[in-house]
Amino acid sequence: MVVFTPMLAIREGGMAIPEAGHEEAWLTQQLPYIREMAENHNVGDFKLLLEELNQREAA
């Protein structure tokens, strides 16, 4: 099953979707914006994204 929810959240957040194969560099560039939206603007989808990233780093 393919889930497009993260892409929808990114587009709804006013961001461009990364090009295939460039996701890691894109994410590194976008993390400050994602954190800002999650922490200062209480955007739930970005909060979930940060939680998932933190869980993956801990594993």
Per-residue pLDDT for 1 more than 50? Answer: no
- pLDDT tens digits, 6-52: 777 778 878 888 888 898 898 899 999 989 999 999 988 889 889 99
A 10 A CB-CB count for 55 gives: 9
Spacing of C-alpha 48 from chain mean position: 8
10/52 Cα distance (integer angstroms): 15
Provide the token pair at 38: 């999650």
